[in-house]
Structure formats: structure tokens, C-alpha cells
Amino acid sequence: MRRFNLFLLAFCCLTTRAVPAVDGVIEINQASVFIGGVSPGNNPGFSVSLTVAGSYRLTGNLDVSAEASPE
């Protein structure tokens, strides 16, 4: 089961990008945090800094503990 969860997380990270949605809003979720680049200068992982003005939308819960042990 853990192997499947790691595969699913990797798949989400590879298929999700921190790009503006159709309405120009940057969507933030667990996958976009692990990819990095939510805003300029952000590396993959936590913490995420919003370094430019704009519209952002949290589209899912962020689990900080998942960085230490992704399951």
C-alpha cells in the first residue's frame, strides 16, 4: 500500500504544475508544493513563500508532516 501511495504522489507531482488556472489564479495544493515554483524562488517542499502579487487559491489541504514521511 505504501508503494502505491508513493507512486500516486510521484504521478501527481509529474502531472501537476503550479501554473495559473483559466481565470489567472495560481492554485496551491500538496502536489504543487512538492514540485516547487509556486511563485518565483520557491524550491520544492515547504515552506512556500508568495513572492509576487497576484491571486492564489488553496485547492487542497497541505500536510506539512507529509514532507518528512510521504504516505
- The domain of 35 spans 2-62
pLDDT in tens, 31-64: 999 998 888 888 999 888 899 999 999 999 999 8
Q: Cα dist. 21→7, 35, 47, 68 in Å?
A: 25, 16, 22, 29
Whether 71 maps to a domain, the answer reads no
In terms of phi and psi (left: phi > 0; alpha: psi -120 to 50; beta: otherwise), the region of 41 is left
Whether 52 maps to a domain, the answer reads yes
Whether 15 maps to a domain, the answer reads yes
Whether 21 maps to a domain, the answer reads yes
- What size, in residues, is the chain? 71
Whether 68 maps to a domain, the answer reads no
pLDDT in tens, 19-38: 556 678 999 999 999 998 88
Please give the tally of structural domains in the chain: 1
Whether 56 maps to a domain, the answer reads yes
For residue 47, is the peptide bond before it cis, meaning its omega torsion is within 30 degrees of 0?
A: yes
Residue type for position 56 = Y
Find where cell 485547492 sits: 59
Whether 70 maps to a domain, the answer reads no
